[in-house]
Structure 1
Amino acid sequence: MVAWTRPPCRKNAPLHRDLRQNAERPNNEYRARRLALLQRPCGRLARTGSAGDGKTRRREELIRGRTMANVQSGKMIVGLDIGTSKVVALVGEVAADGSLEIVGIGTHPSRGLKKGVVVNIESTVQSIQRAIEEAQLMAGCRIHSAFVGVAGSHIRSLNSHGIVAIRDREVSAADLERVLDAAQAVAIPADQRVLHTLPQDYVIDNQEGVREPLGMSGVRLEAKVHVVTCAVNAAQNIEKCVRRCGLEVDDIILEQLASAYSVLTDDEKELGVCLVDIGGGTTDIAIFTEGAIRHTAVIPIAGDQVTNDIAMALRTPTQYAEEIKIRYACALAKLAGAGETIKVPSVGDRPPRELSRQALAEVVEPRYDELFTLIQAELRRSGYEDLIPAGIVLTGGTAKMEGAVELAEEIFHMPVRLGVPHSVKGLADVVRNPIYSTGVGLLMYGLQKQSDGISLSGIVGNSSYSDETKAPVLERIKRWVQGNF
Structure 2
Amino acid sequence: VQIGLSGEEVSSTNSTGQVKITDREVTFTDIEKALNMSKTMKVPNDKTLLYALPNEYLVDGQNGITDPLGMSGIKLEARSHLIHCSKNTKENILKCIRSVSKSLTVTNFYFNQLGVAEVILSEEQKKLGVCLIDIGAGTTDISVYVNGSIFFSKVLPYAGDYVTERIALALDIPQGDAEKIKKKYGCAFSDIASEDILKINVSGSPHTVSRKVLAGQIEHSLSKILAHCISCLEENGLINYIPGGFVLTGGCANMEGMVNLGEKITKNNFKIGKPENNLPKKSSKLLKPEFSALLGLVKFYALEQDKEFTFNQSKGIIARVLEWIRTEL
Determine if the TM-score, normalized by the shorter chain, exceeds 0.5: yes
Q: 1:239 to 1:169 in 2, by over 3 A?
A: farther
Is 1:450 matched with 2:287?
Answer: no
The structural deviation recorded for 1:217 is 4.4
Shift of 1:207: 3.8
Aligned-pair CA distance for 1:262? 0.9
Deviations 1:103-157 (A, max 9, x none): xxxxxxxxxxxxxxxxxxxxxxxxxxxxxxxxxxxxxxxxxx33x2111112221
Percent identity over the alignment is 38
Partner of 1:156: 11
**Which residue, out of 59, 69, 72, partners 1:214?**
69
- Deviation at residue 319 of structure 1 after TM alignment: 1.7
Aligned to 2:324: none
| Alpha-carbon distance between aligned partners in 1 of 2:177 and 2:163, rounded to the nearest angstrom | 13
Partner Cα separation in structure 2 for residue 312 and residue 374 of structure 1 = 21
Q: What amino acid sits opposite 1:353 in the alignment?
A: H
Deviation at 1:206, TM superposition (A): 4.4
Q: Separation in 1 of the partners of 2:301 and 2:116?
A: 13
Aligned to 1:204: 59
Q: Is 1:339 equivalent to 2:178 in the alignment?
A: no
Does the CA contact (< 8 Å) of 2:117 and 2:132 recur in 1? yes
One-letter amino acid of the structure 1 residue matched with residue 221 of structure 2: R
Out of 215, 222, 229, which is 1:361 matched to? 215
In structure 1, what is the equivalent of residue 278 of structure 2?
423
- The aligned residue for residue 31 of structure 2 is 176
What is the alpha-carbon distance in structure 2 between the residues aligned to residue 394 and residue 168 of structure 1?
47
2:110 partner amino acid: I
In 1, Cα distance between the equivalents of 2:227 and 2:95? 36
Distance 1:174 1:239, change over 3 A: farther
Which secondary structure state, in structure 2, belongs to the residue aligned with residue 213 of structure 1? coil
Match of 1:407 in 2: 261
* CA deviation after TM superposition for structure 1 residue 176, in Å: 2.5
- Corresponding residue for residue 298 of structure 1: 155
Q: Where do 5+ consecutive residues of structure 2 fail to align?
A: 309-329
Query: 2:141 aligns to what?
Result: 284
Aligned pair 1:185/2:40, yes or no?
Answer: yes
Letter in 2 for 1:414: N
The CA deviation at 1:414 is 0.6
- Residue by residue over 1:443-466, the C-alpha shift from the partner in whole angstroms, topping out at 9 and shown as x without a partner, is 22222211249xxxxxxxxxxxxx
Shift of 1:373: 1.2
Of residues 232, 248, 251 in structure 2, which corresponds to 1:378?
232
Letter in 1 for 2:235: R
Give the counterpart letter for 1:342 in structure 2: K
In structure 2, distance between residues paired with 1:172 and 1:425 = 40
Matched, 1:323 2:177: no
Confirm whether residue 314 of structure 1 aligns to residue 168 of structure 2: no
The AA in structure 2 aligned to 1:420 is: K
Deviation at 1:170, TM superposition (A): 4.4
Post-superposition shift, 1:384? 1.1
Is the 8 Å Cα contact of residues 329 and 401 (structure 1) preserved in structure 2? yes
Q: What residue in structure 1 maps to residue 94 of structure 2? A: 239
Unaligned runs of at least 5 residues, structure 1: 1-144, 454-485
Tell me the TM-score normalized by structure 2.
Answer: 0.86
Equivalent-residue separation in structure 1 for 2:221 and 2:202 (angstroms): 22
- Give how far 1:340 is off: 4.4
Which amino acid counterpart does residue 12 of structure 2 have in structure 1? Answer: S
- Give the drift of 1:219: 4.0
Larger Rg over CA atoms: 1
User: Which range moved further: 266-275 or 417-426?
Assistant: 417-426
TM-score by length of 1: 0.60
Query: In 2 relative to 1, CA 369–321 (structure 1 residues): closer, same or farther, beyond 3 Å?
Result: same
Amino acid at match of 2:119: S
Name the structure 2 match of 1:62: none
* 1:250 positional shift: 2.5
- State the 1:249 CA deviation: 2.1
Q: Report the CA distance shift for 1:154/1:303 in structure 2 as closer, same or farther (over 3 A).
A: same
CA displacement at 1:210 relative to structure 2: 1.9
Equivalent position amino acid for 1:396 in 2: G
Secondary structure of the structure 1 residue equivalent to 2:280: strand
CA 1:248 to 1:405, structure 2 compared with 1: closer, same or farther past 3 Å? Answer: farther
CA distance in 1, matches of 2:292, 2:105: 22
TM-superposition CA deviations, 1:228-269 (whole Å, max 9, x none): 111111122223333444432231111112111110111111
Does the 8 A contact of 1:150 with 1:235 survive in 2? no
Residues in 1 aligned to 2:197 and 2:120: alpha-carbon distance in whole angstroms: 33
